[in-house]
Amino acid sequence: MVDVILGLQWGDEGKGKIVDYFAPQYDVIARFQGGPNAGHTLYVGDRKVVLHQIPSGVFHEKTVNLIGSGVVLDPVTLRRECAKVAEFGIDVRKNLFISERTHLILPTHRALDKASEQSKGNDKIGSTLKGIGPAYMDKTGRNGLRVGDLLDKSFTTQYIKLRLKHQKMLDSFNFNEDISEWEEEFFDAVEFLKQLNIVPGEYFINERIRKGQRILAEGAQGSMLDVDFGTFPFVTSSNTISAGVCTGLGVAPQTIRDVIGVTKAYCTRVGGGPFPTELLDETGEELRKLGNEFGATTGRPRRCGWIDLVALRFACMVNGVTQLVMTKTDVLDPFTDIYACEKYSVGGKDLDYIPFQMTRMDIQPIYTKIKGWNSSIENSKDFTSLPGALHSYIQYIDGAVGAKIKYISNGPGRDQIISVP
């Protein structure tokens, strides 16, 4: 069976840490979408690691990791990441597998991402500039190159053909930065990638399912960044929701068992686009400082606000969430009062659902005030020792979204996680 861990907000919910925590219970950890736009932070001992494309199970000896067909892969970032995990004694030739159907991010995809963002001016998405949008465009436009193509002698010819197409597009953007260094790096990294385990990902995973192995699918980004159900056009270019697991790995819907949704105890977003509960005041600043809310991939300050239950209910619905994990609970420790957005108000009307076009609306959050626990929980080890006000907050969220919080995370460390009975 396949279980899924994915983000329910706008990304950076702490998926990396949670996948790393659950990894020992699984045989395979598989990424099914996204690419180096992701930044998943985990701690090995007291050393911090940020993974972008390698699944977060890589530090567990007994788990095998798969980069699935739905991912877009940048060989340059991958090589860098492999070097990083090698510092921990991990040999990716033993525990990392890459689907031959995975699409490649080319240097020109990165250039196109940059050119496209520049051309949008104030309406820019705030993309990570990793080439994600252009690479997925080439996939759906049926032009892209895939990992399996690297093994064919026609690869260079195919590359040149596509590069010419991209050059015309770059010319139309008046983009004339020299990317020859990126290309040199790319072809070096391609040689490295060719030495790794390139496999038919769909057979790889289905054979393991048939043998009764346990698979964990690791989401990237968050549900509100899903290309179909997120705050379009301020989204990423893949299906981040649980449905993406089937198309991204080639597994049948009935193989999916638990969908574990990760949410922060509050909310953040990086990049442009609607964020109804955003706090542009000193409380937002305090959340950013306490939560150290700076992007793991781009270093940009994250926008911060209170938890958005309208968005959370929506995310639970489209994903079929079976259990919740609430992270960064400790960040709310110093607050005497905390707030949760129950509904939106638009033009004097209350909304309890996510409207079609959030970007052109003036959405005001309607908050419920909740008593904070106002004490430190970072050293707590079990549920009973947590403050009563936090018990109430957990109960309140359970009721408001209709899914149960099964774990709370009370710090970035591997052991800072508490099971909720």
Restricted to residues 22-51, the positions that interact with ligand GDP (CB under 6 A) are 39-41
- Is 40 an active-site residue? yes
Q: Residue 218 interacts with Mg ion (CB under 5 A)? A: no
- Tokens 């009062």 sit on residue: 337
- Give the single-character DSSP code of 294: B
**Quick one: three-class SS letters along 297-338?**
CCCCECEEECEEHHHHHHHHHHHCCCEEEEECHHHHCCCCEE
φ, ψ dihedrals at 2, nearest 5°: -115, 125
Residue 380: contacted member of ligand IMO, Mg ion, ligand GDP, none (CB under 5 to 8 Å, by partner type): none
What dihedral do alpha carbons 413, 48, 54, 260 form, nearest 10°?
A: 20
- Give the single-character DSSP code of 106: P
> In this chain, which of 15, 103, 114, 303 binds ligand GDP, going by CB under 6 A?
15
Residue 410: contacted member of ligand IMO, Mg ion, ligand GDP, none (CB under 5 to 8 Å, by partner type): ligand GDP
Query: What is the spatial distance between Cα 337 and Cα 11, in angstroms, rounded to a whole number?
Result: 25
Residue 352: CB minimum distance to ligand IMO, A: 26
> In this chain, which of 6, 7, 175, 407 binds ligand IMO, going by CB under 6 A?
7
**Are the beta carbons of 1 and 259 closer than 8 angstroms?**
no
- Of the candidates 3, 20, 40, 308, the residue annotated as catalytic is 40
Residue 12: CB minimum distance to Mg ion, A: 4
- Tokens 């000896």 sit on residue: 61
Residue 292: CB minimum distance to ligand GDP, A: 6
Tokens in use for 364?
């005001």
**Are the beta carbons of 292 and 268 closer than 8 angstroms?**
no
Q: Residue 296 interacts with Mg ion (CB under 5 A)? A: yes
Rg of the chain taking only CA atoms, in angstroms: 21
Query: What is the spatial distance between Cα 64 and Cα 23, in angstroms, rounded to a whole number?
Result: 10
Q: Residue 327 interacts with ligand GDP (CB under 6 A)? A: yes
Residue 13: CB minimum distance to ligand GDP, A: 5
CB of 126 or CB of 413, closer to ligand IMO: 126
Residue 227: contacted member of Mg ion, ligand IMO, ligand GDP, none (CB under 5 to 8 Å, by partner type): none
- Tokens 């790995």 sit on residue: 249
> In this chain, which of 166, 266, 328, 372 binds ligand GDP, going by CB under 6 A?
328
Q: Residue 70 interacts with ligand IMO (CB under 6 A)? A: no
String of DSSP letters for 2-69: EEEEEESSSS-SSHHHHHHHHGGG-SEEEE-SB-TT--EEEEETTEEEEESSS-TTTTSTT-EEEE-T
Q: Residue 116 interacts with ligand IMO (CB under 6 A)? A: no
- Is 60 an active-site residue? no
Q: Residue 102 interacts with ligand IMO (CB under 6 A)? A: no
- Of the candidates 12, 113, 138, 308, the residue annotated as catalytic is 12
Q: Residue 128 interacts with ligand IMO (CB under 6 A)? A: yes
Q: Which residues are catalytic?
A: 12, 40
- Which chain residues interact with ligand IMO by CB under 6 A? 7, 11-12, 37-40, 125-128, 130, 132-133, 220-222, 225, 236-237, 270-272, 296
